[in-house]
Amino acid sequence: MDPGKEGLPRKPRFSAQGWGWALWGWTSWSLGSVARVPGWAWGDNLDPQGRGAHWARGQVVLKPGLGLGAGLVSRAQQPPGPLKQLHVGKWLSPFFFTCAVYFLLWIPDDQPSWVGALVKCLPVLSLVVFLRAVDAGGGYSARLQGALLCSAVGDACLVWPEAFLHGVAAFAAAHLLYLWAFGLTPLQPGLLLLVILAALPYYGLLLWHLPPDLVLALTAYSLALATMLWRGLARGGSTGWGALLFTLSDTTLAWNAFAQPLPHARLVVMTTYYSAQVLISLSVSQSPKLKPN
């Protein structure tokens, strides 16, 4: 569920911005590999086909300068040579720039506007560009891109309170696409039990505060979210952390919206939400199948 419904009081606006920058700086630092995708490398040599310098991972080679998603060829013909790690910071820089714009502007969400919706959606849309750049032809990447586009639709819908259910539906679709991408291997039923044990008490308490007309929709959404969390944790790596932060974002949002107002709720929700999306997007480097184009 998108974090756009709740806002902070205007009075501590600059304090909230300061905390936002601090939290976002910590998140950027903690990613560690934000400027490089593990497992990718830079090839210095020219090959017999004249591809020139290229980036490679597994059986895929990405030749720069051909446009987003272009230049993916087989690595089987690549000659051996000294390799350096591929820096992909330039593909992630739009994400961090648009996040900075969002936190800097801090547009009040009690005044819905298309400008506010656009500023809110841009970080997620920039991750679609990132995925197309690093793995345009992979099925895993395509599903992540679909989930991000659904998330952007949800971001926009929830700027307007009257479109709340449309936003819930868009984010539910995003979670289903994430589920499709994460798969069912390894199954890890023990993790499912832990997710159920954590989710039932929380949702049981939240249920008392939900409007009757939202109970069915939010119950269905909660099931999709909990299942996505299970599969993300089972996959591990940045996927697991992303799924966990996405769940933290949504549970904070729901509690603040329906149960009890929380201090700096919007700040916590948005920071964890954007962090979740970028961590899940970075999991494309862990995908075992990178199809050549």
**H-type alpha helices, 8-138:** 13-31, 89-105, 114-134
What is the token pair recorded at 211? Answer: 């409007």
Q: What is the pLDDT of residue 172?
A: 99
Strand boundaries in 10-50, DSSP class E: 36-43
Average pLDDT, the chain: 79
Residues sharing a CB contact under 8 Å with residue 290, sequence separation 6 or more, in sequence order: 57, 58, 59, 60, 135, 137, 138
Q: Give Dmax over CA atoms of the chain in angstroms.
A: 68
What is the token pair recorded at 164? Answer: 């709340």
Task: Pick the closest to residue 143 from 187, 184, 185, 174 (CA basis).
Answer: 174
Look at the chain and report how many structural domains it folds into: 2
Helices 89-105, 265-282: crossing angle, 10 deg rounding:
170
Q: Are residues 53 and 140 in the same domain?
A: no
What is the helix (H) or strand (E) element at residue 200, kind and residue range? helix 189-207
Q: What is the pLDDT of residue 117?
A: 98
Q: Are residues 51 and 94 in the same domain?
A: no
Per residue in 1-46, pLDDT tens? Answer: 655 544 444 444 445 556 555 555 545 544 444 334 444 443 333 3
Q: What is the pLDDT of residue 18?
A: 60
50 found inside a domain: yes
293 found inside a domain: no
Per residue in 93-144, pLDDT tens? Answer: 999 999 999 999 999 988 899 999 999 999 999 999 999 998 877 899 999 9
Task: Tell me how far apart the alpha carbons of residues 143 and 128 are, in angstroms, rounded to a whole number.
Answer: 11
8 Å CB contact between 256 and 233 = no
What is the token pair recorded at 246? Answer: 């996405």
Q: Are residues 52 and 140 in the same domain?
A: no
Instruction: Name the percent of the chain in helix, strand, coil, to the closest 5.
Output: 65, 10, 30
Residue type, 256: N
Per residue in 151-210, pLDDT tens? Answer: 999 999 999 999 999 999 999 999 999 999 999 999 999 999 999 999 999 999 999 999
Task: Pick the closest to residue 34 from 83, 72, 91 (CA basis).
Answer: 91
Q: Are residues 127 and 20 in the same domain?
A: yes
Task: Tell me how far apart the alpha carbons of residues 291 and 72 are, in angstroms, rounded to a whole number.
Answer: 9
Q: Are residues 215 and 113 in the same domain?
A: yes
Q: What is the pLDDT of residue 135?
A: 84
8 Å CB contact between 85 and 41 = yes
Residue 35 three-state SS: coil
8 Å CB contact between 73 and 292 = yes
7 found inside a domain: no
8 Å CB contact between 284 and 141 = yes
Task: Tell me how far apart the alpha carbons of residues 197 and 200 are, in angstroms, rounded to a whole number.
Answer: 6
Task: Pick the closest to residue 60 from 75, 80, 50, 47 (CA basis).
Answer: 75
Task: Tell me how far apart the alpha carbons of residues 144 and 141 are, in angstroms, rounded to a whole number.
Answer: 5
Q: Are residues 274 and 216 in the same domain?
A: yes
- Residue 204 lies in domain: 13-34+88-286
8 found inside a domain: no
Q: Are residues 55 and 108 in the same domain?
A: no
2 found inside a domain: no
Per residue in 84-107, pLDDT tens? Answer: 234 467 899 999 999 999 999 999
Task: Pick the closest to residue 228 from 271, 192, 256, 189 (CA basis).
Answer: 192
